[in-house]
Amino acid sequence: MTERKIDGTESAGVETSVSAPAEDTGDEAARETAPAPAEKAAKREDEERPAVVIRDKRKVKDPGATPPAKAEPEAAEAEAAEAPVEVSAEKVDIEADDSPGPLGAELEALRGDVDELTRDLQRITAEYANYRKRVDRDRGLVTEQAVAAVLTALLPVLDDIDRARDHGDLVGPFGSVAEQLINALTKFGLTPFGEKGDAFDPTRHEAVAHQTSADVTEPTCAEVLRRGYLLGDRLLRAALVAVADPE
């Protein structure tokens, strides 16, 4: 309870009584004559009237006090209401699959189109990979065939150089040019073969004469009439030889 004083201040738990104003007693009252009977009755009535009591039941809030905390159920409900709702994509897909409506049918049609396009892409990718391999292989074969054609055209020149060397004419500037030509052709993979005393190989030698000899135990190249050439592992030209067979 709050007590209200006449000066406007409040205090808790005290009743406030307001009394009627007292009669003025002073020099003026002394100078005036005695009051009339009506005035005496009014004064007596005022004296007998009970004092007015004002009760203020409002509670004064403490400005420094903290508001009471919410109940735990209310706080939990508020947090649940504010928490974001997460929707799983798998759940949506499943619901869309299970739904018999037009959305599920459209989704199935789209999946079928995607599967078909994926198979087409895989097939095209495999075909392109095979095409690249085939083009690379063909390009290598074309290059090798072109080099082989050029080297085959130059083989008679190499045969003349070999005959000049056997006769001792490969000297001077002509010998220097011949060596440069042979070195340049060797860089393209041209390899000569066919030397006297080599074992006869019918896949690489071409026999133009046969003779017997007690000095050999197997068919042997007794004489090389023309050297053979290889381009890498490819036989460019077979060697012409005379073969000596054992007796």
Q: Among residues 147, 165, 182, which one ends one of the domains?
A: 147
**Is residue 169 very low, low, confident or very high in pLDDT (cuts 50, 70, 90)?**
confident
Residue 69's pLDDT is what? 47
- In this structure, is residue 129 part of a structural domain? yes
Residue 21's pLDDT is what? 44
- In this structure, is residue 229 part of a structural domain? yes
CB 52 within 8 A of CB 20: no
CATH number where 196 lies:
2.30.22.10
pLDDT at 24 over 70: no
d(CA 218, CA 240): 18
- In this structure, is residue 240 part of a structural domain? yes
pLDDT at 63 over 80: no
- In this structure, is residue 208 part of a structural domain? yes
d(CA 102, CA 108): 10
pLDDT at 30 over 80: no
Q: Residue 203 sits in which domain range?
A: 191-247
pLDDT at 97 over 70: no
Residue 140's pLDDT is what? 87
CA-closest candidate to residue 43, choices 16, 70, 22: 22
Domain tally for the chain? 2
Q: Among residues 119, 147, 175, which one ends one of the domains?
A: 147
Q: Which is more confident, 38 or 104?
A: 104
| 53-68 mean pLDDT | 54
- In this structure, is residue 5 part of a structural domain? no
CA-closest candidate to residue 1, choices 52, 56, 46: 56
Residue 189 phi/psi, 5-degree rounding, is 100, 10
- In this structure, is residue 111 part of a structural domain? yes
Q: Among residues 147, 180, 206, which one ends one of the domains?
A: 147
- In this structure, is residue 45 part of a structural domain? no
| 189-194 mean pLDDT | 92
- In this structure, is residue 37 part of a structural domain? no
- Tokens 């209401």 found at: 81
Residue 166's pLDDT is what? 86
